[in-house]
Amino acid sequence: MYIEELKPGVLRVSASADWPKPYVGVCGSMHGNEPCGAAAMQRIASSFKEGALEPAKGTVFLIHANPEASSQGRRHSRGGDDLNRLWDFEFTETLRREAWGYEHHRVLELKEVLGELDLFLDLHSARTPTPPFGISNGEASIDDIAKEVGISFLVQSWYGLADKVITGFLKLAGVPALSVECGSHDDPEIADTAHRIAMNFLRVTGVIDDGNETNGTEVRTVHVVETITKPSDEFGFGAPWTGFQELEPGTLVGRDRVTEIRVSRPCYAVLPNEDVEIGEDVIYLAVDT
Ligand SMILES: [Zn+2]
């Protein structure tokens, strides 16, 4: 077995010294306040190093995306920017180089590795409780793979952020990619959930064969149809929503002194988070496909 640190935080593992294709990447902690992903990468790397796990074909890439933000325990590093909003690389045209923070340099470094991948998984956690759900970029076989990794819901279309997030960049490159929200940051099981999902992904893509079956679950597919941004500081939810809570028509999503937002058809609450700045997203609404 061959293991090599290709770049800081990027480990590649293969049974063969010539690093054969397919390249399958698993990425964690794009956001530094979401330690479950990096913990899963570390645990899998240790299993390889101890010989408890062996690569079966191709090359596995284990990526700790944002070690700087992880060390600070923040979503992005001080003076930097959200690493999962830079994948359109617009800043290279609009922001002078002296103003770049850690993440601007890091996204260019990761682009070199990630652009070469054949399949990709990205692990996140959320502020409020949510069942594990995936967001697919719709390329090739990714939806079928997603159904085997152990998520409850699969978001098949989410256009709002499409070109700024890693899965959007990989879509342009034609690389099947899946982002998974594993649960809430402070769920005591979150590290195990992230590890289980990452292992299932490696199994179903065939790059490891540890004799275990993937534990695919019943997965409901949904579309995100509405993005609600925080209209004012007074805005509050009608109830403390959790992820994929079902909202009946007429349900008060939230209100401030002049606005009330109610749903007009059955839908799910996705990533509810009141604690954002005015103009940022407080909740997304999804419907069954
Ligand atoms: Zn995240």
- Which tens digit of pLDDT belongs to each residue from 209-236? 998 888 667 899 999 999 999 999 999 9
> 141 and 254 share a domain?
no
Cα 28 to ligand 1 centre (Å): 9
Strand order in the sheet with 260-262: 236-237, 252-255, 260-262
> 84 and 199 share a domain?
yes
Task: Indicate the range of 95-99, 149-153, 178-182, 208-212 predicted with least confidence.
Answer: 208-212
Q: CATH no. for residue 19?
A: 3.40.630.10
> 33 and 66 share a domain?
yes
Cα 116 to ligand 1 centre (Å): 22
Cα 84 to ligand 1 centre (Å): 8
Q: CATH no. for residue 264?
A: 2.40.50.630
In this prediction, residues 150-164 reach a mean pLDDT of: 83
Q: Count structural domains, the chain.
A: 2
Q: How confident is the model at residue 160, as a pLDDT? A: 63
> Which amino acid, 244?
F
Q: How confident is the model at residue 26, as a pLDDT? A: 98
Cα 129 to ligand 1 centre (Å): 14
Q: Is residue 67 situated within a structural domain?
A: yes
Q: Which band of pLDDT confidence, cut at 50, 70 and 90, is reported for residue 88?
A: very high
Q: Which band of pLDDT confidence, cut at 50, 70 and 90, is reported for residue 39?
A: very high
Cα 126 to ligand 1 centre (Å): 7
Cα 277 to ligand 1 centre (Å): 17
Of 173, 204, 235, the last residue of a domain is: 204
Cα 225 to ligand 1 centre (Å): 20
In this prediction, residues 100-129 reach a mean pLDDT of: 96
> 112 and 155 share a domain?
yes
Q: How confident is the model at residue 157, as a pLDDT? A: 75
Cα 231 to ligand 1 centre (Å): 23
Q: Is the pLDDT reported for residue 250 higher than 80?
A: yes
Cα 34 to ligand 1 centre (Å): 6
In this prediction, residues 98-105 reach a mean pLDDT of: 97
Cα 125 to ligand 1 centre (Å): 6
Cα 17 to ligand 1 centre (Å): 33
Cα 258 to ligand 1 centre (Å): 32
Q: Is the pLDDT reported for residue 207 higher than 90?
A: yes
Q: Is the pLDDT reported for residue 159 higher than 90?
A: no
Q: How confident is the model at residue 289, as a pLDDT? A: 86
Q: Is residue 212 situated within a structural domain?
A: no
In this prediction, residues 33-53 reach a mean pLDDT of: 97
Cα 127 to ligand 1 centre (Å): 9
Q: Which domain holds residue 9?
A: 2-204
